[in-house]
């Protein structure tokens, strides 16, 4: 029977690491206003905790993308489900992702945002699954590298479930 498997990253470890990432981001931008652009739905807990860990001017915006449908394998085709209505011209934009897997989602975003002339375009992901990469992507801030397992919790879902778990667990098929 499929079920939630072992805990991969406990709640405390997530919070400690998110605070460290906040410091890192603060040090990089040195008081310049940051536009944190969260990729929904998976990054909603992460961006909420991350921006509260940044001591400095931050705005938040959202975009909804989907590449997984209801399964545990990327379809490789990224669907943009909502458009970004914030003007990013001359803004310091930080893309905030829950997880980078094949790299297709981030590639799609970088290609669509680049021509909108942000002052800078950087990336931050909570999780990185390097074993599944199909396209190379630049990661500027990263929470944790994880092995080749499907994970749920802290915003990450399987067919829209388990986003409410306060920790990150392996999914056992």
The entry of Mg ion, ligand IMP, none that residue 29 binds, CB within 5 to 8 Å by partner kind: none
CA geometry: angle 147, 151, 153, nearest 5 deg: 140
Work out whether 151 is an interface residue with ligand IMP (CB under 6 A): yes
Work out whether 22 is an interface residue with ligand IMP (CB under 6 A): no
Which position among 97, 118, 123, 126 is part of the footprint of ligand IMP (CB under 6 A)? 97
138: Cα separation from own chain's centroid: 13
Taking 3-state DSSP, the helix, strand and coil percentages for the chain, each rounded to the nearest 5, stand at: 25, 35, 40
- Residues in contact with Mg ion, shown as a per-residue x/- string from 25 to 64 under the rule CB under 5 A: -----------------x----------------------
Alpha helical stretches, state H, the chain: 11-29, 44-52, 104-113
Work out whether 143 is an interface residue with ligand IMP (CB under 6 A): no
Applying CB under 5 A, the residues found at the interface with Mg ion are: 42, 98
């Amino acid at each position: 029977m499929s079920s939630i498997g072992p805990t991969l990253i406990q709640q405390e470890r997530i919070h400690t690491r998110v605070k460290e990432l906040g410091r890192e981001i603060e040090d990089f931008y040195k008081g310049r206003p940051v536009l944190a652009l969260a990729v929904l739905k998976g990054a909603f807990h992460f961006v909420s905790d991350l921006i509260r860990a940044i001591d400095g001017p931050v705005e938040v915006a959202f975009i909804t993308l989907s590449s997984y449908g209801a399964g545990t394998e990327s379809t490789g085709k990224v669907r943009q489900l909502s458009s970004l209505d914030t003007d990013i011209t001359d803004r310091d934009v930080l893309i905030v992702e829950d997880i980078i897997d094949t790299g297709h989602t981030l590639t799609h975003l970088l290609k669509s945002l680049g021509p909108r002339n942000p002052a800078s375009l950087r990336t931050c992901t909570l999780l990185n699954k390097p074993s599944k990469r199909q396209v190379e992507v630049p990661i500027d801030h990263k929470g944790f590298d994880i092995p080749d397992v499907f994970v749920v919790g802290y915003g990450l879902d399987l067919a829209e479930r388990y986003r409410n778990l306060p920790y990150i667990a392996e999914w056992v098929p």
